[in-house]
Copies of this chain bind each other. A is one copy, B any other.
Amino acid sequence: MRNDSNWTTDRRTLLAGAAASAAALLAPAKAFAADGLDAVRKAVAANHDEAVKRLQDWIRLPSIAAENKAMPEGAAYMAKLATDAGFQHAEIVPTRGHPGVFATLDAGAKRTMGIYFMYDVKQYDPAEWSSPPIEARLLDKEGFGQVVMGRGAVNQKGPQATFLAALHGMKKAGKKLPVNLVLVAEGEEEIGSPHFSDIVIKPNVLAALKKCVGVIIPTGWQSPATGGVEINLGAKGVVEFELVASGEKWGRGPKEDLHSSQKARVDSPAWRLVAALSTLVTPDGNTPLVDGFMDKVRPLTPRERELILLASKNLNEADAKRAAGVTHWIDDMSWEAALERLAAQPTINIEGLVSGYTGPGGKTILPSRAVAKIDMRLVPNMTRDDSIAKLRAHLDKRGFKDIEVNVSGGYDPTETPEDSDLVRAMQATYKRFNVPTTLYPRLAGSWPGVTFTGAPVNLPAGQFGLGHGSGAHAPNEYFVIKSSNPKVLGMDEAAVAFVAFLEEIAKS
Binding site for B on A (CB under 8 A): 2-7, 10, 66-67, 122-123, 191-192, 236, 238, 240-242, 247, 251-268, 270-275, 277-278, 281, 283-286, 324-330, 333, 338-339, 341-342, 345, 347-368, 370, 373, 375, 377, 408-409, 443-446, 473
Contacts and interface: CB of A to CB of B under 8 A. Distances in A.
B362 A409 contact: yes
Contacts of A5: 259
Contacts of A4: 259, 364-365
A161 to B, nearest CB: 23
A373 B366 contact: no
Contacts of A349: 260, 263, 268, 366
Nearest to A125: B359
Nearest to A333: B265
A377 B267 contact: no
B377 A260 contact: yes
Contacts of A242: 362
Contact of A265 (B191, B338, B355, B446): B338
Given A342-B264, A356-B350, A357-B351, A259 B329 contact: no
B252 A267 contact: no
18 contacts: A5-B259, A10-B259, A122-B363, A191-B362, A238-B364, A260-B347, A261-B347, A261-B443, A262-B342, A263-B349, A264-B444, A265-B329, A271-B284, A275-B284, A275-B285, A351-B362, A351-B365, A352-B357
| Residue in A238, A274, A362, A365 with the greatest tally of chain B CB atoms within 10 Å | A362
Contacts of A192: 362
A5 B259 CA distance: 8
A363 B472 CA distance: 12
A368 B351 CA distance: 10
Contact of A262 (B122, B191, B444): B444
Nearest to A472: B259
A46 to B, nearest CB: 38
B266 A326 contact: yes
A267 B330 contact: yes
A281 B263 CA distance: 12
A192 B364 CA distance: 10
Contacts of A285: 267-268, 270-272, 274-275
Contact of A191 (B236, B361, B377): B361
Given A274-B277, A328-B251, A356-B352, A262 B362 contact: no
Given A252-B327, A445-B259, A373 B362 contact: yes
Contacts of A260: 347, 349, 351, 375, 377
Given A4-B259, A350-B270, A326 B247 contact: yes
| Residue in A238, A278, A338, A349 with the greatest tally of chain B CB atoms within 10 Å | A349
Given A274-B350, A325-B255, A359-B123, A261 B445 contact: yes
In order of increasing CB-CB distance, the 8 nearest A-B pairs are: A271-B285, A7-B259, A352-B356, A270-B350, A261-B444, A352-B357, A240-B362, A278-B278
| Residue in A271, A275, A325, A351 with the greatest tally of chain B CB atoms within 10 Å | A351
